[in-house]
Amino acid sequence: MLLSFAQFEREVIGERVRDKIAASKKKGIWVGGSVPLGYASIDKKLVIVPEDAEKVRTIFRRYLEVGSITALAQDLQRQEIRTRRQILSNGKIRGDISFGVGPLAQLLKNQFYIGEAVYHGEVSRGEHEPILDRALFQAVQEKLAVQTIARKNKLRGSSAVLIGRIFDDHSNRMSPTHSNKQGERYRYYVSHAVVQGRKADGGVLSRAPGPELESMVVAAVCQQLQRCDIDGQLIPSGDRDLIERYVDRITVKPDAIEVRWLKTNPQDASSVAHGSEPAPSMTVLHWTASTRAPKGVVHALPERSTINPETHSGLLEAIAKARLWIDDLVKGRAQSLAEIAHREGKVERHIRLLAPLAFVSPPVILAVLDGVAPPFKLNVTSVAAALPHLWTEQMRRFARTG
């Protein structure tokens, strides 16, 4: 009984502490924790550190100039702009390293820098002094939103069905890339650590063949579903739908592939029908001698698809940029196409050529995303130069009719 009362008292105290923290955060009071770059904690108050604050402003301005978080990380590395250096109580040094893509993405979205405190989705005016003006912060948020749409469009248009879910054995995300040899196109996945010049942080297997990996993972899903034959033939819903619906994370190791399933277990439906036990949360697939790819070596199957994913991605990204440019003109963030050209580092003719892409009809965009439009017509120049004003005419000219 005494233990029960003690446990109850601990729970009550914990709840009161959480309520006090929540009330303080709603008032904009900083209650401790990690101090954002640009600030220092003095007498339990956050004050601006001028040198670090200017570093934050530089990061935001440079993002608008270079156009992507990956390019921003590389630019900061060239300028030797690094994370804050901290000396811990035990004498060890924390920080003073190059900015990674993930931390930069979090920094660019942090409303703390415009004097706001966010708690459980509620925004309050903070007690601290802002580092950024709201116009700069908002411009960055809009560009981030455009890039998010473009990235999602690129993922849907890519033939690399494992993108966004595949990691090396050091938890680095792996991205699709390809090479051409003697007229054949070879696809593979490469570790972000290698792409970003951090080879020492990469996994044991820095590259892996795309088609072989995809075939193994899709076959594993099929086996879990018990809806395909022993050869692992694709079920009617398609490999991309299978991966998105059932696979949470794929980890590539030198001798195995770990497939972690989503909470919606891929065998749930078939388990009910067949009375079998639920499938495990993870499946381990072993590489064979014919599919295993040693470090730095790619043994990939040639890509045979007649649709060119890079062309799709280029068109979708151009449409997203064109929409941003027109929005800048409408909202007064830019006064002319010449100003936009100077900002983007392009000639004005290039901007004028692509600007009409802002008015591509939604049905045509969906056709591009779904890969049902004829690939020989899907290039930025031909679409921008011959874009009809009427959406119905756009559909007739650019969408597949058969």
d(CA 178, CA 185): 7
pLDDT above 90: residue 395:
no
- Beta strand segments in 200-322, E: 207-209, 247-252, 256-261, 282-286
Strand 85-87 versus strand 93-95 pairing type: antiparallel
pLDDT at position 289 is 36
Helix spans in 226-336 (H): 239-246, 268-274, 309-330
C-alpha distances (whole Å) from 318 to each of 150, 151, 353, 369 are 9, 12, 11, 14
Q: Which amino acid is at 3?
A: L
Most confident of 152-166, 199-213, 277-291: 199-213
d(CA 397, CA 377): 9
Q: What are the beta bridge partners of residue 191? A: 174
Return the structure tokens found at 97. Answer: 């390293």
d(CA 400, CA 108): 40
Strand 207-209 versus strand 184-191 pairing type: antiparallel
Backbone angles phi, psi at 316, to 5 degrees: -65, -40
pLDDT above 50: residue 44:
yes
Contacts of 15 (CB under 8 A, 6+ apart): none
How many residues make up the chain in this entry? 402
Over residues 39-49, the mean pLDDT reads 87
pLDDT at position 234 is 43
pLDDT above 90: residue 386:
no
Residues 308-343: pLDDT tens digits?
A: 555 666 777 788 888 888 888 888 888 888 999 988
pLDDT at position 358 is 83
pLDDT at position 369 is 60
Residues 144-190: pLDDT tens digits?
A: 888 877 766 665 556 688 888 899 988 888 988 888 777 777 888 99
C-alpha distances (whole Å) from 299 to each of 30, 132, 207, 217 are 53, 49, 10, 17
Residues 83-136: pLDDT tens digits?
A: 988 887 788 888 888 888 888 999 999 999 998 888 777 788 878 889 999 999
pLDDT at position 389 is 66
Q: Say how many CA atoms lie within 13 Å of 104 toward its Cβ.
A: 27
d(CA 216, CA 146): 34
Q: How confident is residue 56, by pLDDT bands cut at 50, 70 and 90?
A: very high
Over residues 188-207, the mean pLDDT reads 83
Model confidence, pTM? 0.47
Higher pLDDT, 277 or 132: 132
d(CA 242, CA 148): 23
Which residue, among 338, 349, 342, 395, has the nearest Cα to 372 in the 3D structure? Answer: 395
pLDDT at position 197 is 76
d(CA 120, CA 26): 9
Q: How confident is residue 297, by pLDDT bands cut at 50, 70 and 90?
A: very low
pLDDT at position 22 is 62
**Domains of the chain by start residue, with CATH:** 2-132 (3.90.1750.20), 166-286 (no CATH), 309-398 (no CATH)
String of b and e for 229-254 (b: at least 16 CB within 10 Å)? eeebeeeeeebbebbeebbeebbbbe
Distance linking the first and last C-alpha atoms of the chain: 76
Which residue, among 144, 147, 142, 163, has the nearest Cα to 316 in the 3D structure? Answer: 147
C-beta of residue 59 within 8 angstroms of C-beta of residue 74: no
- DSSP H/E element including 339: helix 337-344
CA 71 to the chain's CA centroid = 14
Backbone angles phi, psi at 108, to 5 degrees: -65, -20
pLDDT at position 363 is 65
Higher pLDDT, 98 or 305: 98
d(CA 233, CA 219): 7
- DSSP H/E element including 345: none
CA 49 to the chain's CA centroid = 31
Over residues 372-387, the mean pLDDT reads 56
User: Of 18-32, 163-177, 185-199, 248-262, which gets the smallest average pLDDT?
Assistant: 18-32
pLDDT at position 401 is 39
Return the structure tokens found at 239. Answer: 């490999």
Return the structure tokens found at 378. Answer: 């899907």
Q: How confident is residue 287, by pLDDT bands cut at 50, 70 and 90?
A: low
**Average confidence score pLDDT of the chain:** 75
Please, what is the angle between helix 69-78 and helix 101-108, to 10°?
A: 110
